[in-house]
Chain A
Amino acid sequence: MVEPIGDADLLTDGDLRAVAALGSVDVLVGVPARNQSRSVTHVLEVVRTGLTTALADRKSAVVVLAAGFQDETLDAVKGWAASRPSQPPVCCVRIAGPPSRSRVMLGLLDILRRLESPACALADAGLVSLTPETLRCLVQPILAGEADYVSPAYTHTVAEGTLTTNLLAPMCRALYGRRIQQLLGGCAAVSQRIAARLLDTHASPGDPTDDGLEMRLLIETLASGERIVEVHAGRKTLDAGLTPPDLATTLAQTVGPFFRLMDRYREVWSEIGGSVSVPRIGEPPSILPEVGEVQLDRMVRGFRLGLKDLLPIWEQVLQEETLGLLYPLGLLSPDEFVFPVEHWARVAVDFAVASHERRLPRGHLPRALTPLYLGRVAAFLRETQGASPARIVTALEAIGGAFEAAKPGLAARWR
């Protein structure tokens, strides 16, 4: 039995006994949940079907991990499990302490190590688009020893995942040299090896990269040069009843940890040049030109307001040359608004350097990026709205290229 990791108060003795009772399994499916009693049973039903049909020849178990005492998710799971066959076994775990996604992830990785399961699939309790086939595709490459991390790749419209397409994915591509579509796709599969490595290098509960643990799983794989595979997972649909966090909080929860992880993996990314595609299982995902009802003028207004009122803060973050490039954009009307990718890449680099040099408090920096991000997304949607798939691909490629071109400057400024 492996000793508990540093954060020993994650799992109670009762939970540890329940986990130990699962015995040794080939496939562990972790379902992190937080106030998702509405959709968790649907996801569990899909997982159960996947494990009993497509992965019937493998011994498997499901662990639902919830955080926070107010959460009713586990009650919903227990009610659901009582009326279902006992296979695969479903274990409910309530992570002690403050409710955080990273603590839940840490708990899941700890359980994975305890059970010595070779493969672990992760399925968010709100991911209602998950199918049994997707689950199989995620787990199979790990079990076959063909990959250490399997990431989903979704068919999406240009208005979906704009933070990923405009910042996270291109920056990840420039830094770690692999063109991966999703950094936080809602589901993934990971090998025991990667999980163990992450637990071994996990510093302490107070680690500043704590809140990016889910993202760190992927980046650890990329940084260590391990095999990574993408699986086409159709369209991504989250439970409509979930209230997403506001945009600034989303940036703080994703871009903040991403920048902080750059400190940890500096020696790796500073040596990487160029980028390559990631092997993919299944059809390539499509990009649809539909934009839907998006208030572009509101986004441009947000950008302009930022340029007017957040200037004293941006002056602490952005270089003078970058600010000089932004001023003329504030004069453009929503109909003619553009935000060139080269400018955007400079902005991202300046923010990453500012995060490294801690020029703003940790929570403030990614939030201060919000108006700039809105401006960039407005320009991106204007450019790609109704465009042909080839043109959209070209636009996305241009973003990745701009970030790759900006990387030498980033590395030079990283003291």
Chain B
Amino acid sequence: MREAWSDALVTSFREVMNRLSHIAPRVLAMLTLILLGWAVAGLASRLAVRLSRVVDLDARCARWGLTAGLARSGLAQLPSLAVGRLIFWTIFCVALLMGIEALEMPATAGLVAGVIRFLPNLVIATLVWTAGWLLANFMAQAVLIAAVNAQIAFAPLIAGAIRWLVLIFAGAAVLTQLGIAREMVLLTFGIAFGGSVLALALAFGFGGKELAREILESRLRKEDQNDDHMTHV
């Protein structure tokens, strides 16, 4: 009884130690890779920021209007710091992938290959989202200015609706590109978009009949309305 208990204990301990001896170097390798990656990413990031400052990237971007463009899009960050961060996260993500691959676990087998295969889609999706984001901000701003200049009430509401419409459209395009629930996205987007347009048309047709008439009349009789005896130039 005692021997059997002792054997089971020893065997179990040996197996665990055996497995640990197999896994430990891999875990150590993973930690080393991640730590090394973090250190290299930090160094490269700092180097990139310094180099960017040496070549006066911030001032150049300000002159070219890139800084203002990023600020308009909500990225109120100096371009040199943005470059540094981009480099840091790129290197760190690569190191992280290498670390996970070093584990050689069945669950992570082929992860790097899969990520690399997925990378083009990810890049395209990022570009689509960036373009959609910029376009949404640009269009919302244009609509807001035009609506306020036309003295239309609820101008921010209209501009916000335009921004979300473009963002939702870009989001749907991104999900489709990534292949995430493609059918569901298409169906949801189609139903939501078509339904919204129909609802708006009905609401405007029935509820805002008078308003529609007023808008059309004011448009068509613009000359009568703008009868101010003034010229600007």
By a CB distance below 8 angstroms, the chain B residues around A367 are 145-146, 149
In contact, B230 and A160 (Cβ under 8 angstroms): yes
CB of A99 within 8 A of chain B? no
In contact, B141 and A161 (Cβ under 8 angstroms): no
A305–B228 Cα distance when bound, in Å, is 20
In contact, B145 and A247 (Cβ under 8 angstroms): no
In contact, B141 and A361 (Cβ under 8 angstroms): yes
In contact, B156 and A248 (Cβ under 8 angstroms): no
> Which of A7-15, A143-151, A289-297, A395-403 interfaces with chain B?
A289-297
CB of A100 within 8 A of chain B? no
Chain B, range 145-200, C-beta contacts under 8 Å to A: 145-149, 151, 155-156
Task: Find the residue from B142, B146, B151, B227 having the highest chain A CB count within 10 A.
Answer: B151
In contact, B142 and A371 (Cβ under 8 angstroms): no
User: Given the interface contacts A248-B146, A361-B141, does A159 sit within 8 Å of B229 by beta carbon?
Assistant: yes
Q: Pick the contact of A164: B65, B69, B148, B233 (CB < 8 A).
A: B233
By a CB distance below 8 angstroms, the chain A residues around B68 are 357-360
By a CB distance below 8 angstroms, the chain A residues around B155 are 305, 309
CB of B232 within 8 A of chain A? yes
A357–B68 Cα distance when bound, in Å, is 7
Minimum Cβ distance to chain A for residue B25 (Å) = 55
A309–B141 Cα distance when bound, in Å, is 11
In contact, B233 and A254 (Cβ under 8 angstroms): yes
Minimum Cβ distance to chain B for residue A257 (Å) = 12
**B46-82 toward A: CB 8 Å interface, digit per residue (1/0)?**
0000000000000000100100110110000000000
In contact, B145 and A313 (Cβ under 8 angstroms): yes
In contact, A294 and B141 (Cβ under 8 angstroms): no
By a CB distance below 8 angstroms, the chain A residues around B69 are 358
A357–B59 Cα distance when bound, in Å, is 11
A360–B65 Cα distance when bound, in Å, is 9
How many interface residues does B have (CB within 8 Å)?
A: 26
A247–B150 Cα distance when bound, in Å, is 10
By a CB distance below 8 angstroms, the chain B residues around A157 are 229
**B113-149 toward A: CB 8 Å interface, digit per residue (1/0)?**
0000000000000000000000000100110111111
By a CB distance below 8 angstroms, the chain A residues around B149 are 246-248, 302, 367, 370-371
Q: Pick the contact of B141: A184, A295, A313, A370 (CB < 8 A).
A: A313
By a CB distance below 8 angstroms, the chain B residues around A248 are 145-146, 149
User: Given the interface contacts A309-B156, A360-B72, A360-B141, does A292 sit within 8 Å of B148 by beta carbon?
Assistant: no
Q: Pick the contact of A364: B141, B147, B227 (CB < 8 A).
A: B141
In contact, B144 and A357 (Cβ under 8 angstroms): no
**A313-332 toward B: CB 8 Å interface, digit per residue (1/0)?**
10010000000000000000
**B193-210 toward A: CB 8 Å interface, digit per residue (1/0)?**
000000000000000000
By a CB distance below 8 angstroms, the chain A residues around B223 are 243
In contact, A371 and B228 (Cβ under 8 angstroms): no
In contact, A294 and B228 (Cβ under 8 angstroms): yes
Query: B66: nearest residue on chain A (CB-CB)?
Result: A358
By a CB distance below 8 angstroms, the chain A residues around B21 are none
Q: Pick the contact of A313: B138, B144, B228 (CB < 8 A).
A: B144
In contact, B65 and A161 (Cβ under 8 angstroms): no
User: Given the interface contacts A358-B65, A371-B148, A371-B149, does A293 sit within 8 Å of B228 by beta carbon?
Assistant: yes
Give the number of A-B contacts (CB < 8 Å): 96
By a CB distance below 8 angstroms, the chain A residues around B148 are 305-306, 309-310, 370-371
Q: Pick the contact of B142: A247, A294, A364, A381 (CB < 8 A).
A: A364
A377–B231 Cα distance when bound, in Å, is 11
Q: How large is the interface on A (under 10, 10 to 19, 20 to 34, 35 or more residues)?
A: 35 or more
Minimum Cβ distance to chain A for residue B233 (Å) = 5
Q: Pick the contact of B231: A161, A364, A368, A381 (CB < 8 A).
A: A161
CB of A163 within 8 A of chain B? yes
CB of A250 within 8 A of chain B? yes
A361–B69 Cα distance when bound, in Å, is 8
A292–B156 Cα distance when bound, in Å, is 34
CB of A140 within 8 A of chain B? no
Q: Pick the contact of A250: B72, B151, B156, B232 (CB < 8 A).
A: B232
Q: Pick the contact of B229: A184, A292, A360 (CB < 8 A).
A: A292
In contact, B138 and A361 (Cβ under 8 angstroms): yes
Q: Pick the contact of B145: A184, A238, A302, A364 (CB < 8 A).
A: A364
CB of A301 within 8 A of chain B? yes
**A241-269 toward B: CB 8 Å interface, digit per residue (1/0)?**
00110111010001000000000000000
Minimum Cβ distance to chain B for residue A364 (Å) = 6
By a CB distance below 8 angstroms, the chain B residues around A310 are 144-145, 148
In contact, B232 and A293 (Cβ under 8 angstroms): no
CB of A162 within 8 A of chain B? yes
Query: B156: nearest residue on chain A (CB-CB)?
Result: A309
Query: B227: nearest residue on chain A (CB-CB)?
Result: A293
A248–B156 Cα distance when bound, in Å, is 18
By a CB distance below 8 angstroms, the chain A residues around B146 are 248, 367
By a CB distance below 8 angstroms, the chain B residues around A357 are 62, 65, 68
A247–B148 Cα distance when bound, in Å, is 12
Minimum Cβ distance to chain A for residue B180 (Å) = 32
In contact, A160 and B145 (Cβ under 8 angstroms): no
By a CB distance below 8 angstroms, the chain A residues around B62 are 357, 415
In contact, B156 and A184 (Cβ under 8 angstroms): no
In contact, B228 and A309 (Cβ under 8 angstroms): no
User: Given the interface contacts A310-B144, A310-B148, does A295 sit within 8 Å of B233 by beta carbon?
Assistant: no
A1–B169 Cα distance when bound, in Å, is 56
By a CB distance below 8 angstroms, the chain B residues around A359 are 68, 71-72
Can you add 20 more A-B contacts, CB < 8 Å, to A163-B232, A302-B151, A309-B148?
A159-B230, A160-B231, A161-B231, A162-B231, A162-B232, A168-B233, A184-B233, A246-B149, A247-B149, A292-B230, A294-B229, A298-B151, A309-B156, A313-B141, A316-B72, A357-B62, A361-B142, A367-B146, A370-B148, A415-B62
- What are 5 contact pairs spanning A and B, CB under 8 A? A305-B151, A309-B155, A310-B144, A313-B145, A371-B149
